[in-house]
Structure formats: C-alpha cells, structure tokens
Structure 1
C-alpha cells in the first residue's frame, strides 16, 4: 500500500518527519459532517474540535439546504496521548440553526454580555440564506453556547456568502482585527439573493467598528490566513469551481500572496502575486506553520508549499480535503466530508495557535 505522504521535494521530510501517520478518527455516512471550519481548542482532559458540514437537504425537505455544526471531543489517556477509540462527535443543533449555512471559523475572544470579560469563542462565517444574513457569528465555547451576530453588512449592503476568516494578533495587521473573504457561492448555489457587493476581502476592527474592503479583483475569494509574523496575507481564489458545480480549467485555482504594509498608520494589502496554483481541484482552506510553510486543502488532500512557493509534498486522502486544522504537537485534522482524519507529523506547529 502506497504512503499517503507524497514528497515532491526533499524538504518535505523536514515538515512531516521520518514516520508520519494518518489515521481515521470518525466516519459518518448520514451527511457530510466534516467539511469546513476545523477550530481547535486545547483542554485539560479533552481537546475540542468544532467543524461545519457541507450543505445537504434538511430531512423531509425537497429543497431547503442546511449546514450542521459538530463538536468533536478528542479524549486523552493519562499520559496525554490522544486515542481514536474514544473520539465522539456531537451535533450542535441550536448553534447550527443560529449560524445560517455555516462555513469557515477561527478561535476568537468575545464578551457575550455588556461589561463581562472576554471568553473563548468560535467566530463562524455564515453564508446566510434567503431569510437570514450572511456574516460573522460568535459562538460561546463554554456554558450555553450562546450565538451572537457580530457583522452582517458593508454599510447597509449585505454580504454575499462570507466564507473564511482569520483574526490578527500583531500590531502590523491590527491586533484583534478580523479579516475575511466574501465570494458569491450562496447566490450560485441557490440560497442567497443576487450579490450586492463585489467578491472581496474585508477587514473589520471590532474596537473601532471600522470596516474596510482590502482586496478585490478575485473571482471567488475563499480561504485566508497570515504568515507567522503576519507580514503576508494568503488568499485562495477558487474561481475554477462555480457554485453551480461548473468547472473551467482556464479559471483560477490559485493562492495569492499580499504584503501587509502601513500607510498613514493603517494596514493595506500590496504587491499581490501568484504564490501557487493547485494542480488538483481547488485550494480551499489555508494555514501556515511556524516555519512559514503554506498548507491548503485541495482535490486530493492537503498540499504543502515552502514560503517561496515550491510544492514540497501532499498528504493524500481520497476525495480531498476542503479544510483542515492543526492540533498540537504535530497533529493535523483533515476534513474529508464523511470522514475525519488525523495526521501525526514531526515537529510542526500551526502558526495560528503555536502549539
């Protein structure tokens, strides 16, 4: 049996280590539960993973498309090791209804009551519906898992279908500022009205309530992440695949890189350049490790590029991976629609959490 770890460059071994493994954690065939988000929280007894499903028809309906959000509890043995045998998945029904057509997500800090301290939250992208707004929704991790709408429009014009999000942690990008993408997939897939905005990348400062368009000229801006020092923003353009299911090999299936620069004390995106093109499917979710290597979920698994744009290798799973996330100590969780996989790599740490 061939290895799922396929090297294209000798440096791939430095990423995955000498003995990487790939294990199936959860398999569930009722609907594609493992599609997007992948937001990891480290816990004292069990780690947590929050994921969004792909769209599917609500049971009993002929045309209503829904998304469900799940919590995967990653139990640990006494020595701290994770074990697949005790992994469980719980549907968060109330949260799913409160986050209309959920998609990407990221770790977040949010105050759920006036004057209350900030607490751990998931900031979900909601693609919206015919009756509920697309936007950013914060979900409380502890307690009743309250959901609050954070942002739903650009000065009165509704977002199209907010897709993916990242939160800045440095002064360069603006500590606590929220960067997100907004493609037109909801309209193309039949559950959103005609777009009233271009397909763009936005930045929202929740302290100043400042909202800006940061990048345009993209067909379907999708995944977004920062380099480890947040001097570069990576955005995937999945224009190769339209919401109708139509594909066109002449359209972008591309990762673009932008420099984060300061003009008059405010961040701007400059020097857009083609960083990489996916050879299989589209580069969807995207993350960096602490060495600056760039990972993206593609049509045959997760591809890994060097900071210089060289394809180092890929972690192959049949059916591909729309998204994925890093856990801790070299863990990576691959979202494979009806399956959730865990890859154990070498000494890699995701740049988002640094664990």
Structure 2
C-alpha cells in the first residue's frame, strides 16, 4: 500500500485517484539493498540501483527489468567498490564509487550489456577524490558533453575513507577533453544533483548533519553563466523531515526529491505539490532515491523495492 499527501490538483492528477503500487522485493531491515541510484537503462529496459549498505563495504549494483519485474544482482567486472549514485548517458552507466581507505573514490562507466567497467576519473591534479555521491549530465551547456558530480567527504566522516585531500566540491568533467573542474566549493555536504530539461537550472542538495541529527536540509538552484559555470545560488527548497537526497526533474520542470518522509514533488518555483509518503513503504519511512520512466516510479525503499504507476507520463 502507499499513502499520499496532496497539496494541489496538479499532484492529484499525477497520482490519480486509484494509484497502482506493487511490491517487487523485500529483505531484512538490517540489509537495505535499494538505497541509491535509480537510472533507466534503455538498452536493457532496466532500472539500476545500488545498496550503499554503509558502513559495510560492498559492490552491490542491482537491476529490475521493467517488463518482467525480475531483480538481478549484477556481476560488474571489475567490481565497483561501495557504489552510490548512478546515471545513464551515451550508452554507458556511470556509477559513483565511494572507495575506502586505500582506494580513491571515483566514477566508473559500465557497459550495460557486457557489464565491463572502466575508470573515468578518480583525482584532480593528483589529489584523490573523496567519495562521489551522485552524477548527472548536460549536452546543451556550451555545446559540450559534461558530466557533473558531487564529491562530499562522506567516506571519511563515516570512517571508511582516508583523510580528505580535497574539499567537498561539485565538479564538472568534460567528456571530450577529460578536464575536471571544481565549480561549486561552498557547500557542506553536496549530495543530489540534477538539471532541468532546458539545462539552464542546476539543482544541488546540501545534506550536512550535526550530532543532534539536525543540519542543512536544503536544495539550492543555480543559473549557468555563458561559460557554463553555476552562478546565482538561491534556496529552492527546505526539507521538513530528513535530508533531501536523490533529485529528479521531470519533463515539465517539476522537481522530485527523496526525503525523510518520502518523495516530495515541487513545481519549478519550489512550491510543494504533494508527497508520496514513505511510512508504509519501509520501516524507516525514508526514501533516499527512486527512478522515473514515463509513468512508472521505481521506489528505492531501503529494504523494499516498489513499483508505482502514475496516471500520466512525466518523464
């Protein structure tokens, strides 16, 4: 079952009055297998996702087939160490690896049919990356193909990574020249990242926690200048419960974020339209990430995986 809170007719029309939701898999609460990622792979008609069972080191990347609902633990070679966010671009799946104390955090590209991985980037001028968290792409910025990713110091803060050599930055990587450039350097824990459909607005979440469990629960929006660099930072949204983790932007510019109470849907002005509540979907109620394709939402609910059918196509 699933519960919703609607604050607008727009959200109600998205969800419909009798939304269909199906439980695809469930496991023990102690071993969450569906935490991060959430990307559609056209070549295989699958959604890929990762376990990210921190602080346990793992290489668990899984897929769910959208035709059969079959779930498979993928045998990627070489394996991706502590995989986190991922995205699909130009026939490859790009996966963030958080590394460990001896292996640098990195981003790898995986062929979705052969499951062979290759290193894309793991350092900036010889200084090792921290623990890449999430990744997105642009093709309209300056007419170039760029990979953008967040690289917080999470591996170090959670005691499975080495001492940081770099700050918690957002990077832009030129897929043609392999130039890596820090483009946002003043966030505490940059996490989720996504563009709007026109690639003129970049959304990045900042998810720092203090010892009391409170902290920065903000999604920022940025414009891009003529050089394709983020400018004009402004608050787009503030989470009422938990951190804003995964971000997806649909075809009309609505921003979907995984938060402590579920999946929050806002219009491009930041107005909250409604929430797909997580309280009935997993024990914690926290939905860190999800995937959207057409009218299907694959909900990564920690120890459970759900498939929700919307009433209209959104992506």
Q: Give the TM-score normalised by the residue count of structure 1.
A: 0.82
Q: How has the CA–CA distance of structure 1 residues 133 and 237 changed in structure 2, closer, same or farther, with 3 Å as cutoff? A: same
Alpha-carbon RMSD across the aligned residues, in angstroms, is 1.9
Task: Indicate whether 1:343 and 2:301 are aligned.
Answer: no
SS in 2 for 1:65: coil
- 1:248-287 per-residue CA deviation (whole Å, 9 max, x = no partner) reads 42x210100000121xxx2111110000001111100001
Match of 2:62 among 59, 70, 73: 70
Q: How has the CA–CA distance of structure 1 residues 174 and 99 changed in structure 2, closer, same or farther, with 3 Å as cutoff? A: farther
Looking at structure 1, the residues matched to 206 and 143 of structure 2 have their Cα atoms a distance apart, in angstroms, of 24
Looking at structure 1, the residues matched to 189 and 60 of structure 2 have their Cα atoms a distance apart, in angstroms, of 23
Q: How has the CA–CA distance of structure 1 residues 173 and 33 changed in structure 2, closer, same or farther, with 3 Å as cutoff? A: farther
Per the TM alignment, residue 173 of structure 1 is displaced from its structure 2 partner at its CA by 5.5
More deviation, 86-95/219-228: 86-95
What corresponds to 1:228 in structure 2? 197
Looking at structure 1, the residues matched to 93 and 212 of structure 2 have their Cα atoms a distance apart, in angstroms, of 32
Structure number with larger C-alpha Rg: 1
User: Is the 8 Å Cα contact of residues 110 and 117 (structure 2) preserved in structure 1?
Assistant: yes
What corresponds to 1:39 in structure 2? 39
Match of 2:99 among 118, 128, 148: 128
What corresponds to 2:125 in structure 1? 155
SS in 2 for 1:22: strand
- 1:5-24 per-residue CA deviation (whole Å, 9 max, x = no partner) reads 21123332243344433221
Ranges of 4+ aligned residues in structure 1 off by more than 4 Å: none
Task: Indicate whether 1:286 and 2:247 are aligned.
Answer: yes
More deviation, 296-305/29-38: 29-38
- 1:24-78 per-residue CA deviation (whole Å, 9 max, x = no partner) reads 12112272110111111235xx721111002257xxxxxx622411122232xxx
SS in 1 for 2:100: coil
Looking at structure 1, the residues matched to 164 and 286 of structure 2 have their Cα atoms a distance apart, in angstroms, of 29
Per the TM alignment, residue 300 of structure 1 is displaced from its structure 2 partner at its CA by 1.7
What corresponds to 2:282 in structure 1? none
What corresponds to 2:74 in structure 1? 92
Give matches, 1:170-319, under 5 Å: 170=140, 172=141, 174-240=143-209, 246-249=211-214, 251-262=215-226, 266-318=227-279, 319=285
Looking at structure 1, the residues matched to 171 and 65 of structure 2 have their Cα atoms a distance apart, in angstroms, of 32
Looking at structure 2, the residues matched to 334 and 247 of structure 1 have their Cα atoms a distance apart, in angstroms, of 28
SS in 2 for 1:267: coil
What corresponds to 1:79 in structure 2? none
Looking at structure 2, the residues matched to 200 and 104 of structure 1 have their Cα atoms a distance apart, in angstroms, of 16
User: Is the 8 Å Cα contact of residues 31 and 56 (structure 1) preserved in structure 2?
Assistant: no
In structure 1, stretches of 5+ residues that fail to align are 58-63, 76-85, 110-119, 351-355
Task: Indicate whether 1:323 and 2:298 are aligned.
Answer: no
Q: How has the CA–CA distance of structure 1 residues 121 and 314 changed in structure 2, closer, same or farther, with 3 Å as cutoff? A: same
Match of 1:140 among 111, 118, 122: 111
Q: How has the CA–CA distance of structure 1 residues 222 and 173 changed in structure 2, closer, same or farther, with 3 Å as cutoff? A: farther
Looking at structure 2, the residues matched to 247 and 136 of structure 1 have their Cα atoms a distance apart, in angstroms, of 32
In structure 2, stretches of 5+ residues that fail to align are 280-284
Q: Give the TM-score normalised by the residue count of structure 2.
A: 0.92
